[in-house]
Structure 1
Amino acid sequence: MNNEQHRTIQLSPSLMTMDLDKFTEQITFLNSKVNSYHVDIMDGHFVPNITLSPWFIEQVRKVSSLPLSAHMMVTDAPFWVKQLIAVKCDYICFPSEVANGVAFSMIDDIHAAGLKAGVVLNPETQVDIIKPYLDILDKVTIMTIDPGFAGQRFLESTLSKIVELRQIRDEMGLSYHIEMDGSTNLKHWKMIADAKPDVYVIGRSGLFGLTDNIEDSWSQMVDEYERSTGYRFDNGVFRSDD
C-alpha cells in the first residue's frame, strides 16, 4: 500500500463555529477523535469581525490537552504573537499580508518560546510572498474562502497553492504542514482530498452544524467524507478502498 492509499490526515475543528453552550460536551467528545483545535483570533480591523482571544485558549486548556493552533486575523501581528506566546499556544499562525518587515522576528520569538510558527495565505495572496522564510515555518495555512466569517463561498482556485506547497516541500526537503481552512464539507471533500493538504480545518458546514448532537455530527462527517472521496476513515488514517 503506497502513501497515496494510506495517508494520515490531521483534523482541526474550528472552535469559532462550535456550539458554545455545549463547549465542554463537544470538546470532551472530540478530544479522542481529532489532532488539534483551531482558534480564530480577529481584531475587527484586519477583518470586520471580532472573535476568540488568548483568554479562550486558556479555557480550552481546562478541558483538553490537544495542541491549539491560533489563526490570527489581525493588523498588529507582533502584539498578538506576544499574547499567544504568553499562553503557550502550540501553533501561532500570523497573516502573511501584514508580516513584511517582522516575519523573521516573529518566527524567531515563537521558536525561542518552544512553540511552532505558521503563516496564513488569504485567497488573493500567492505562495511567492512567503518564500523568503518558508524554510523556517512549521505550518502554512491556505484560506479557501475569504477570511473573517464562516459560510462564505469556496474558492476552488486556491487549492493550486496546496499542490504548489507540496511540490516545494518535496523539492527542498522541508517539513512544514500544509493546512486548508474554509468550507470543508460534503460539497468540496473530493476536490480538497485531491489537493492533499495535511490538515483539514473543519467548521460548521462540515461538522458542528450537521446535527444537534456532536456524536451524530461526527458520524455524518466521516460518512460524507468516505462516500465523496472513496477513502475510509480508520483511527485517524484515511485509507483508499483500492
Structure 2
Amino acid sequence: MWRNLLKKIINASILNADFSNLKDALDQATAAGIDWIHLDIMDGHFVPNISMGPDIAQLCRQLTPLPMDAHLMISNPNDFIPRFAEAGVNLISVHIETDAHIHRTLKNIKDHGCKAGIVLNPGTPASSIEAVMDMIDLVLVMSVNPGFGGQKFIFPVLSKIQQIRKMIDLQKRDIYLQVDGGVDATTLPQAIQAGADSFVVGSAIFRNPVGITQAVRQLKLLLDS
C-alpha cells in the first residue's frame, strides 16, 4: 500500500509581512524553522486585489535561501511564468479556473525548470483536476476566496481535502497537498486530519501578537504532535 512520506511543512506567506523590514521578517521566520516562502501574486483581474510581482520574488531570493513557491492568482499565467522562473522561485501554482489549456500551462512551468502546482478555489470540485494529476507536484486547496489575507477558514473545504488526499494516494508518488487561507493554530490540526501536508500561513505568523518566532514555533509543534 502506498504511504505518503512527505514531511509536513509550513509555508510563510509574506503578503501580510512588514515590507519596510522584509529582511528581518524573513530572517526571524527562517531562524524559527519555516520551511518555504510563499508568494501571493494577484493581478486585480482574476482576484480583486493587486499584490506583488517578479521583482519582489527576485528580492526574496536575494534575502533567503529557502525554497519559494509562487501562487499565481492572475488571468494570464503563461505571460509571467518565465519571469517568475528567472526570479528564482522553485514551484509555480496556477488556478484550474483560469485556463482552458491547463496542460499546456503546466508543461510551460516544467519547461522553465520549476515544479508545477494546481490550485482550486473553495467552490471548485476536486474532480476538476483529475486530468492533470499526473503532471503536478502540488495541489493547493484554497480555504478562503482568494484576493485578501487575514480571512476566516471555510470549513466545508475539509471534505474536499479528504477527497484530494485519496486522489493523490492513487498516484503513488510524492505530491504535496497544500491548504491556504485562515490557517492558524486552531485550523491547522483539522487540515492535517483531513490529509494536508503543506500549510500556507500569513497573518498567524506575521501579525501574531506573540511575535514571528514564537508563532512559527507553535505551528511547528502542531506539525509534530
TM-score, scaled to structure 1: 0.84
Q: Are the equivalent residues in 2 in contact too, given 1:209–1:217 (CA < 8 A)?
A: no
The match for 1:86 is: 86
Residues 141 and 7 of structure 1, relative CA distance in 2, 3 Å threshold: closer
The match for 2:135 is: 136
Q: Does 1:173 align with 2:177?
A: no
Shift of 1:134: 1.2
Aligned length in residues: 222
Secondary structure of 1:179 counterpart: strand
Range moving further from structure 2, 42-51 or 155-164: 155-164
The match for 1:229 is: none
The match for 1:157 is: 156
The match for 2:224 is: 239
Letter in 2 for 1:211: P
Letter in 2 for 1:218: V
Separation in 1, partners of 2:151, 2:110: 33
User: Cα RMSD over matched residues?
Assistant: 2.1
Cα deviations across residues 172-227 of structure 1 (Å, max 9, x unaligned)? Answer: 313211000000113323322211311010111x21111274224334xx0xx58x
Letter in 2 for 1:88: G
Shift of 1:62: 1.2
Q: Are the equivalent residues in 2 in contact too, given 1:7–1:239 (CA < 8 A)?
A: no
Q: Are the equivalent residues in 2 in contact too, given 1:10–1:199 (CA < 8 A)?
A: yes
Cα deviations across residues 29-79 of structure 1 (Å, max 9, x unaligned)? Answer: 222411111101100001110001111011011111111100111111211
The match for 2:62 is: 62
Deviant stretches of 4+, over 6 Å: none
The match for 2:15 is: 16
Unpaired runs of at least 5, structure 2 = none
Letter in 2 for 1:71: H
Q: Relative contact order, CA 8 A, sep 6+: which one is greater?
A: 2
Matches for 1:99-118 after TM superposition, within 5 Å:
99-101=99-101, 103-118=102-117
Shift of 1:113: 2.2
Separation in 2, partners of 1:186, 1:10: 14
TM-score, scaled to structure 2: 0.90
Cα deviations across residues 108-162 of structure 1 (Å, max 9, x unaligned)? Answer: 1221222101111000111211111111101110000110011223211111222
Separation in 2, partners of 1:81, 1:62: 19
Separation in 2, partners of 1:217, 1:110: 33
Residues 132 and 31 of structure 1, relative CA distance in 2, 3 Å threshold: same
Q: Percent identity?
A: 27
Unpaired runs of at least 5, structure 1 = 227-231
Q: Does 1:52 align with 2:52?
A: yes
Letter in 2 for 1:37: I
Shift of 1:7: 7.8
Q: Are the equivalent residues in 2 in contact too, given 1:88–1:115 (CA < 8 A)?
A: no
Separation in 2, partners of 1:174, 1:168: 11
Secondary structure of 1:41 counterpart: strand
